[in-house]
């Protein structure tokens, strides 16, 4: 089953957009729940997005340096 990983809400005091800094997992990698997938940055903070489920990263939908809105799908896991 495929699971879409989205950019979560960044909190009230942060922007609703973030930039992909670096992918920490590659397509084909097996990831465990809470493993860091990607590092994101805003004007105010840098943070990582952990995997919400265990599975295989099958597709990255955004590239490094891309701007992403809260709620956008950033990658797909096969769980």
CATH of the domain at 7: 2.40.50.100
Question: Region 43-54: what's the mean pLDDT?
Answer: 94
The count of structural domains within the chain is 1
pLDDT for residue 12 is more than 80: no
E-strand stretches of the chain: 2-6, 17-23, 30-31, 36-41, 46-50, 55-60, 67-69, 73-78
Q: Check residue 43 and give its pLDDT.
A: 86
pTM: 0.92
Q: How high does pLDDT run on average in the chain?
A: 94
First to last CA, the chain: 5
**pLDDT score of 2 more than 70:** yes
Residue ranges making up the domain that contains 22: 2-78
Q: How confident is the model at residue 9 (pLDDT cuts 50, 70, 90)?
A: confident
């Amino acid at each position: 089953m495929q699971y879409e990983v989205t950019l979560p809400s960044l909190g009230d005091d942060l922007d609703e957009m973030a930039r992909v800094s670096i992918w920490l997992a590659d397509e084909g990698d097996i990831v465990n729940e809470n493993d860091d997938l990607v590092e994101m940055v805003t004007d105010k903070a840098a943070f990582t997005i952990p995997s919400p489920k265990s599975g295989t990263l099958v597709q990255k939908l955004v590239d490094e340096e891309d701007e992403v809105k809260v709620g956008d799908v950033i990658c797909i896991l096969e769980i």
